[in-house]
A = this chain, B = another copy of it.
Amino acid sequence: MNGADRLCDSLLAHGVDVCFANPGTSEMHFVAALDAKPAMRCILGLFEGVVTGAADGYGRMADRPAVTLLHTGPGLANGLANLHNARRARSPLINIVGDHASTHLKFDAPLTTDIEALARPMSDYVRRIGGPDDVEAGVQGAWRAAMAPGVATLILPADSAWGDAAATPLNKSSPPSPGKVDETKVRAAALALRKAPGRVGVLLGARALRADCVAIADRLRGAGVRVFGEMFIARMERGGARAPVERIPYPVDLALGLLAEIDVLVLVGARAPVAFFAYPGKPGALAREGCEIVELAGPLDDVKPALAALADELAVKRASPARATAALPEAPTQGPLTDEAMTLIAANLLPEGAIVCDEALTSMRNFFHVSQGSAPHDYLMLDTGGAIGAGIPAMVGAAVACPNRKVIGLQADGSGMYTVQGLWTMARENLDVVVIVFANRAYAILHHEMRNVGVNHFGRNARRMLNLDEPALDWVMLARGLGVEAGRAETCEEFTRLLKGALGRRGPFVIEAVVWGPDTTGT
């Protein structure tokens, strides 16, 4: 057996059985080894951003890593933006990056790059495999780092793959234990929260946004504690009778306004809230000056028992209050396809158990609020690291992780173009995804930001950089070119008909929703 065989066997021994791949020459022995392991499901992405974004979506939904197969430094580089999102989302993920044989590096052949330098900024763990007999230790280290959770990157020199490896029995590592939260932190948090009922809150992040934790946090309301969620939600179980959380809004002024009322903020799996960008004259920290920030549990800690202990310490009721599903206004059945109309139609039609992948950005901004009244679902915000292009790939990964659930993708057009190649993977794997593309034909978010920096009149150069018109993208043709069925909606009737149709069948479908973008004259 060679190192590549050993690599596959060790991955499988750790339960890693999905490989999102875009291979190249230095990985041929690994490809050959994968080919001999039908237990590993190999899924091709036509660009590495698709591969890493799919692994992110998979990790968020499966709570265990898929493995990516990337070709040397440039292949890794192509996947870095979505690895950045995955790292910020704390997704479990293992990358295998092929490299030249160790004996070949001295020649500085064209593909030679400093892979470690490229990997480190977007990885929690980086290791270069030191030979065929180092493969198993590499997988063990990477798997434990991935299960922390985090992003692990293994560099596989070609001669570590092709060299002979001893066929000793394989060991499965035990997953790392999440950090235990000790009593002093619980008491300190409770003490702080008692100071000003009604003006105190918990900020939930990471696993604290799963249904079991939100239910416990909901009990804290009985002690006058408000329940907030992070600005970027990696994954939240919500809808139906589940308790709501108030998400920290993206616009700085709204976030500052919301948190101006808060004297004490307890962090549960979250970090202290900060502005996404700096603006001249505005603060970077979103909590008000003088707000007391207390960390109960970090993103890698065991948040559920910490929350339960906090609830006990605050002596709130043992059970979460019974809740009715939030009110959901009826959807319009006809008329122009406004943002509000799309929001209501989609929220009303959301099937139970749906996985919503949200990279809508400026479209359907109210969807998170409205869909509190939808059927129970998982909600994933994709650009957790602020890198666009996560949407279509994450839909792929979520659908692979959960083949019996419907994935609903809310996709901005500008971001969707970054990794449009992912539609082909949906077609090939017949993934059960409805992609709603909001065709506003602009980087609408940048129109807003230009106004934020005081520019209200756009000239030719600004229009050429911020608008996606001349020519307009034809998403129906693009989808069909990539093998996915598609339709275009310009009215509520058309949108409802297409969405119902797509929900009533299996397999991928793209709906191009032609919506009013910003005034593209920029004036």
The CA-CA distance from A120 to B121 in the complex, in Å, is 13
User: Scoring A residues 57 to 91 as 1 if CB is less than 8 Å from chain B, else 0, what string do you get?
Assistant: 00000000000010011110110110010001000
Assuming A73-B121, A78-B78, A474-B481, is B107 touching A461 (CB within 8 A)?
no
Q: Closest residue to A29 on the B side, CB-wise?
A: B453
Binds B, one of A172-180, A341-349, A404-412, A463-471: A463-471
Contact B274 A107 (CB under 8 A): yes
The CA-CA distance from A69 to B465 in the complex, in Å, is 10
A100 at the interface (CB under 8 A from B): yes
A101 at the interface (CB under 8 A from B): yes
User: Contacts of A100 on B, CB cut-off 8 Å?
Assistant: 277-278
A118 at the interface (CB under 8 A from B): yes
Contact B78 A49 (CB under 8 A): yes
A162 at the interface (CB under 8 A from B): yes
User: Contacts of A482 on B, CB cut-off 8 Å?
Assistant: 471, 473-474, 478
User: Contacts of A21 on B, CB cut-off 8 Å?
Assistant: 465
User: Scoring A residues 159 to 186 as 1 if CB is less than 8 Å from chain B, else 0, what string do you get?
Assistant: 1001000000000000000000000000
A23, A69, A479 pick with most chain B CB within 10 angstroms: A23
Least Cβ–Cβ distance between A283 and chain B, in angstroms: 10
A353 at the interface (CB under 8 A from B): no
The CA-CA distance from A472 to B481 in the complex, in Å, is 9
Q: Closest residue to A478 on the B side, CB-wise?
A: B481
Selected from B28, B47, B462, B464, the residue in CB contact (under 8 A) with A446 is B28
A449 at the interface (CB under 8 A from B): yes
* 23 interchain pairs, CB-CB under 8 A: A21-B465, A25-B277, A25-B449, A26-B277, A28-B446, A34-B465, A38-B459, A42-B461, A46-B414, A73-B84, A73-B121, A77-B122, A80-B80, A107-B274, A107-B285, A108-B274, A113-B121, A117-B120, A427-B471, A428-B471, A476-B481, A477-B481, A479-B481
Supplied contacts A78-B80, A107-B275, 12 more A-B pairs, CB within 8 Å: A32-B455, A32-B462, A35-B455, A35-B461, A44-B464, A74-B385, A104-B275, A108-B271, A110-B232, A118-B118, A158-B278, A159-B280
